[in-house]
Structure 1
Amino acid sequence: MRVLLTGGSGMLGQSLRRLAHEVAPDLELLAPGRGELPLTDAAAVADWFAANPVDAVIHAAARVGGIQANIADPVGFLSENLAMNDAVIMGAHRAGVGRLVFLGSSCMYPRDYRQPLVEGDVLAAPLEPTNEGYALSKITGARLCDYISRQVPGRAYRTLIPCNLFGTGDHFGSAASHLIAAVITKVIDARDAGLDRVEIWGSGQARREFLDVDHLSRFILTRLPDLQALPSLLNVGAGQDHSVDDYYQMIADLAGWRGEFTHDRTKPEGMMAKLMSSAQAKSIGFRPPADIAPDLTRAIAAYEAMKAAA
């Protein structure tokens, strides 16, 4: 099976490429870089599909970032992701590609809504304002996939909604860092510099669900040949959440840092909770780990290795 993978250099893309030979040895992943395939250019994407017939698409590319980045540039997060999703999804559709996996986001769900969140809760109430632009782009892409699948026989365009992800290929120490990578960076840097305090944005009481990206990759690679069996939207998460304070403490303990945490309550912290129900995914074989500590340990080691090599 020939598969176009967008976002091949991102955290999920790196994981999919690394695990493909192990999980799906008959799968050929094509992962052109930005110079070869500018994903916001619909004409360029259409030309690529014409020159490179594929059986399926994994659309993992997106402009991503944490709360600070989303607040600073909502225009960019909405417009760039809308253009990218339209070019890739419609490009695949017009090229006759039968299968497509679109990666959604838990920010598609309403702000501070019931817990755990189920797939039918999308658009049930207002979104979290701090990342509304990004969320809207994901909701639009998911709806487009659903419309195509319902309108055209033989199309299986499905949206997977992962919980927050982390892994060894995360954006440590950059503006694109998500929570786990940011916490690991701050704690390890404080430990190595001999600092005794680390600041946490907000109250620290917001709760987040995190999954190592490799678990999601294995699920995608095993389900890709049979996308027709999946529902239009499918949560793929860890099934448990922890407070931001808990993640800081877990990472500090694993990294051997014994300092003090302070809180800057003037900073935004986003939704207070967004635990998802992954009951549907579990019913078809998804098995998230019960303990996050081994995966956190691997991510910590990856950042330590990156620092040592710098």
Structure 2
Amino acid sequence: MRILITGGQGMVGRNFIEHAAAKDHEILAPASSELDLRDAHAVGCYLKEYSPDVVVHAAGRVGGIQANMHHPVAFLVENLDMGRNIVLASRHAGVKRLLNLGSSCMYPRNVANPLREEMVLSGELEPTNEGYALAKIMTARLCDYIGREDASFQFKTLIPCNIYGRHDKFDPKHSHMVPAVIHKIHQAKVGSADTVEIWGTGKARREFMYAGDLADCMWRALAHFDTLPSMLNVGLGTDLAVLGYYQAVARVVGYSGSFVHDLTKPEGMAQKLVSVEKLEQWGWRATTSLDDGIARTYQFYLEGLKA
């Protein structure tokens, strides 16, 4: 197939392209400098020129709690524009299959875990990343509406849990929790610091999956598109307290200091664990252990420091 993947220069996109299945297909992965997804006309022209067989929408403005809180306008508008433009341009160009990546941020903040696909739009969103979540919800709904109007268009959405891995961002200003923790603990180790600070109590629970596993699921989705549900969680089905992730990274990095808690900082949702019932019924399960995933990610981080 000729596959267009947006966000091909990002963590998810690069893991998708590195997957063994990619060698059997033609992959189009334009950088943002080549194709600005916020420009509807440019997106339409690109789709018309290259006529991909399938589109994978993995692009987005992403970041942790700090970034989402400081730039809510950009997280809402840019992600909404990107999603709207690529989905509508794909329909206009006659692309019959589109795989859209959502986010577990789409789920309400006060519903019982694990989070089932039918819970989307059933309650209030988490305020710290509401803009990003709204954009992801609207793009997923647009995909669904297009299929309702014309069943020949199969535009489907995967909802991954939190992701970390190779090609991640490690700058604490822009990164998610696991890469930020890797950076913090590595710096503490080389600087011989006695303590590392954790935002909040460390009791909030999170589900983090290795990006290589998400890429594997994405490739299975493309190979079994007809059986793929219109909206499907992709996760582990198990979670860990934030403190547990700090301890796991310390174990892999070899840091022996202690942790201190800044109780003035926000923690976000108390828990965010996706249901994998439908995922396992569909026939897929993640295989990378937490320590193995952190070790691969830490190795990538160290390689970046040497570059």
TM over 0.5: yes
Question: Pairwise mapping of residues 1-310 of structure 1 onto structure 2 (< 5 A)?
Answer: 1-19=1-19, 22-289=20-287, 291-309=289-307
Give, in angstroms, the shift of residue 100 of structure 1: 0.4
The answer (yes or no) to whether the contact 2:16–2:22 under 8 Å persists in 1 is: no
Deviation at 1:99, TM superposition (A): 0.3
Structure 2: distance between partners of 1:202 and 1:148:
42
Whether the 8 Å CA contact 1:109–1:117 is kept in 2: the answer is yes
C-alpha contact (below 8 Å) 1:164/1:209 kept by paired residues: yes
Structure 1: 5+ residue stretches without partners: none
Cα-to-partner distance string for 1:281-303 (whole Å, 9 max, x where unaligned): 11122121373111111111211
1-structure distance, mates of 2:305, 2:186: 10
Structure 2 runs not aligned, ≥5 long? none
What is the root-mean-square deviation of aligned Cα atoms in Å?
A: 1.1
Structure 2 distance, partners of 1:307, 1:260, is 24
- Local SS of the residue matching 2:167: coil
- Separation in 2, partners of 1:301, 1:52: 36
Deviates more, 1:198-207 or 1:296-305: 296-305
Q: Please state whether the residue corresponding to 1:270 is helix, strand or coil.
A: coil
Tell me, yes or no, if the aligned pair for 2:110 and 2:123 is still in contact at 8 Å. no
Please tell me the residue identity of whatever aligns with 2:11.
M
Deviation readout 1:201-246 (Å, 9 max, x if unpaired): 1111110001001111111112214323211110000111000000
Q: Deviations over 1:143-164 (max 9, x none)?
A: 0000111111211100000000
Query: Does the 8 Å contact 1:23/1:222 carry over to 2?
Result: no
SS at match of 1:175: coil
Give, in angstroms, the shift of residue 127 of structure 1. 0.5
Matched residues in 2 for 1:285 and 1:25: separation? 23
* Identity %, equivalent residues: 47
Letter of the structure 1 residue corresponding to residue 175 of structure 2: S
**Alpha-carbon distance in 1 for matches of 2:79, 2:199:** 27
Q: How far off its partner does 1:65 sit?
A: 0.5
Separation in 2 of the partners of 1:254 and 1:292?
10
Given that 1:167 and 1:214 are in contact with CA atoms closer than 8 Å, whether structure 2 keeps it comes out as yes
The count of corresponding residues between Structure 1 and Structure 2 is: 307
